[in-house]
A = this chain, B = another copy of it.
Amino acid sequence: MDLEKLHCLFYPKSIVIIGASSNPLKPGGQPLSALVAAGYSGEIFPINPRYEEINGLKCYPNLKSVGKEIDLAIIAVPAKYVPGMLQECGEAKVQTAVIFTSGFAETGEEGKKLQEEIVSVANKYNIRFAGPNCLGIVNAPAKVMANFAVSHNPEKVVKDNAYAFISQSGGFGTITYAEAQKQGLGAQILVSTGNEADLDFTTFLHYIVEHTDVKAVAAYLEGVKDGKSFVQAADKALTKGIPLILLKVGKHEIAAQAAKSHTGSMVGNDDIYQGFFHQKGIIRVNSVEEMLPLLSLFADKKLPRGNRIGILSSSGGGSVYLADLCTDAGLEVVKLSPNTCKQLEENLPSFITANNPVDLTSHAMMEEGILKNALKAVLEDPQVDLVMVYFNVAGEPTRHIIAQLEEAYRTADKPILCIGWSHNEEDHLLAQELMRQAGIPNTLQVEHGVKALATLASFAGHFRMRQASQESPGTTNGLVGKGKEYLAGFDRKALTEREAKQLLQLYNIPVVREEVARSAQEAVSLAEKIGYPVVLKILSPDILHKTEAGGVILNLHSAEEVTAAYDRIINNAKAFNPEAHLEGVLVAELIPPGRELILGIKADPTFGNCVLVGTGGVFVEVLRDFASGVPPISRLEAEAIIKRLKGYPMLEAFRNLGPADLESLVEAVLNLSRMALDLEGIISELEINPLIVGEKGQGVKAVDALITLN
């Protein structure tokens, strides 16, 4: 990907505005006035044959007349003129463009053709462009205001709030950013991606993660066009410790694809996104309200070592309330260490009890030093990883209170979140502004604030795990190509159970011991080789659902039983489907009942072949209990996938069973991930159901498997 070229978009030395206007409310007017107001230091060339001059800048009739090298063209002319203008851009060697104009693919067939036209012009001249049908971009440090509909003052951008916000909806992006700005959370970079005819969400993400110093990337996301590239961008972001905070919509789309397997039919595209978000520590938010406290917290860039929270509150009721919310969110309201308790008792008035939460009482907000000393003591407690302060502000004392917070916090290496409540808007806005200036993360949203702290702790965990892991997740362990070889020349859509298991074995996934018998006599001798009890199963490419066909008989203990079962199965199969080609009967070892899991592969339209893990039996049916990951899956990621299952506690020592053989299970997931990658585009679905997981040291075994091909 030619990301270097995007420098011309984000740090242009010169900008032309095609369709420039003197009206700052018009798309061709707003960037012009905003660039001037912001103090953009490059050259600006308004282009409009109707004017000689706009806002004191010379206006050019066309691009050619500018006669200079141009990094960025802002295009704000009606749709039908856009291809022509882009052609002119190409001829004038313009590097990049932002196309505001709507009326392209979003409007139907004709618009789609027009869009194809501009793509082909852009390709011809190697112009990279944002849009069409977008609100443009802002890069505040460079004072590039190539945007309309967001009134944005780069002076208001606070270094400490330096996040990027990418939106696939212009309007909704504006709403979100307006809410953020009201809370003092100015962005460093804004991108409205529009129709993504050329530059798409993922490309912008790559650029921002690699080439800017943002502390977080937030986005409104409907879907990515290139899942594989998104995987790389997300991975890069995690490695650099840049959190991705995504409001991903479209959760409840009806799954477009029909699926044959159990899990396959339950797992939709959004589930795969969700699994991927877990895998890479991507933070999914459900609402703008949930997003904003995160932006405030991540601006501070202090990652906690764990999830043990210390709470200070000026209200006793508030203490209980916060302790509940923190525990709900997965934070540990920790017991303060004896030394901290001693410090609190020595330095603070006697009515303050040294417990967590520390109830400072309302008196403490008025008396010098109480807040500061308490906060210092709690921040220094080795038992505490992060701190929350809940206090009231009113009038002039607000400054004093926030000065105390600042003093205690300045040298701390632990994150803090402050929530100052007040009786009126003015007090609240004052407190917010003072905290912003002091670089103290804050919010008014108590519930989302607490959740944000928990998210911070969990992101820190993901980041550390990534730093600690030396493993390259891409390794295929010498398995590459084996499956393709096996399937070469294969002309059926579905594999037989036996074929499916042979394929699994090629990728080192253990299967039950079984062999094909072509007569009752052969079945008996195989049973005796394998050892009783055994299971007999019909083997036919034409019978996928064997149980329905009466093609499975379990728990056979003797030669007589095996002989009878063989004949019965053959008769049942013939009755079920007289046309079916019968390859024989599988004689398999009977695995004693154990923990049943389901493993699967599903081809997802965004991410390609994905790996699914589910708890078997009632759990998957009643609770849809599964988790997923996008290959390549690392060992730590595989472990995390398994731990996400609701039924996970059953894999620990449970009832009269010892702990399950997690090591072998993880190995199976890793091998499945390698298989999924190796057979990308070839397999459409795979389901191992059940996979029996033995106790520690006993391994796992695929008992049944179903594979369908593209």
Contacts and interface: CB of A to CB of B under 8 A. Distances in A.
Contact of A327 (B175, B220, B252, B323): B252
A422 B317 CA distance: 33
Q: Which of A169, A250, A251, A287 has the most CB of B within 10 A?
A: A287
A646 B182 CA distance: 41
A220 B421 contact: no
A621 B252 CA distance: 31
A618 B171 contact: no
The 6 tightest CB contacts between A and B, nearest first, are A169-B317, A172-B317, A171-B315, A287-B447, A249-B320, A252-B327
A421 B247 contact: no
Given A251-B327, A287-B325, 5 more contacts: A170-B317, A181-B423, A252-B323, A252-B327, A622-B649
B423 A286 contact: no
Interface in A289-340: 289-290, 314-318, 320-321, 323-325, 327-328
A392 to B, nearest CB: 7
17 contacts: A169-B317, A171-B314, A173-B317, A175-B392, A182-B423, A220-B317, A220-B321, A222-B320, A247-B321, A249-B321, A251-B324, A251-B327, A287-B321, A287-B325, A289-B445, A289-B448, A618-B650
A196 to B, nearest CB: 14
Interface string A163-194: 00001111111110011011000000000000
A288 interface: yes
Nearest to A248: B324
B171 A320 contact: no
Contacts of A488: none
A425 interface: yes
A621 B655 CA distance: 9
A181 B647 CA distance: 45
Interface of A: 151, 167-175, 178-179, 181-182, 220, 222, 247, 249-252, 286-290, 314-318, 320-321, 323-325, 327-328, 362, 392, 421-425, 428-429, 445-448, 618-619, 621-623, 646-647, 649-650, 654-655
Nearest to A648: B622
Contacts of A252: 323-324, 327-328
Contacts of A424: 182
Contacts of A168: 317
Nearest to A359: B171
A445 B321 CA distance: 20
Contacts of A428: 182
A619 B617 CA distance: 12
A328 to B, nearest CB: 7
A181 B251 CA distance: 35
B317 A171 contact: yes
B447 A290 contact: yes
Contacts of A171: 314-318, 362
Q: Which of A314, A318, A424 has the most CB of B within 10 A?
A: A318
Contacts of A654: 621
A252 B362 CA distance: 25
Nearest to A428: B182
A429 B421 contact: no
A99 B171 CA distance: 54
Nearest to A167: B317
Contacts of A324: 249-252, 286
Given A290-B447, A446-B287, A646-B622, A151 B317 contact: no
A259 to B, nearest CB: 20
A108 to B, nearest CB: 12
B392 A317 contact: no
A284 to B, nearest CB: 11
Contact of A315 (B172, B362, B421): B172
A168 B151 CA distance: 45
Contacts of A315: 169, 171-172, 174-175
A175 B314 CA distance: 11
B172 A321 contact: yes
Given A178-B421, A252-B327, A317-B220, A286 B447 contact: yes
Nearest to A622: B649
Contacts of A317: 167-173, 175, 220, 222, 249
Contacts of A173: 317
A318 B172 contact: yes
Contacts of A179: 421
A168 B172 CA distance: 41
A447 B292 CA distance: 13
Nearest to A222: B320
B649 A178 contact: no
A361 to B, nearest CB: 8
Nearest to A168: B317
Contact of A250 (B170, B320, B445): B320
Contact of A422 (B178, B251, B327, B447): B178
A395 to B, nearest CB: 12
A5 B564 CA distance: 87
A423 B445 CA distance: 19
A646 B623 CA distance: 8
Contacts of A286: 324-325, 328, 447
Contacts of A649: 621-622
Contacts of A423: 151, 178, 181-182
A327 B270 CA distance: 14
A317 B249 CA distance: 9
A470 B151 CA distance: 60
Contacts of A447: 286-287, 289-290
A618 B173 CA distance: 45
A250 B318 CA distance: 11
A421 B423 CA distance: 22
Nearest to A179: B421
A444 B597 CA distance: 44
A175 B250 contact: no
Contacts of A623: 623, 646
Contact of A446 (B181, B288, B655): B288
A32 to B, nearest CB: 20
A249 to B, nearest CB: 4
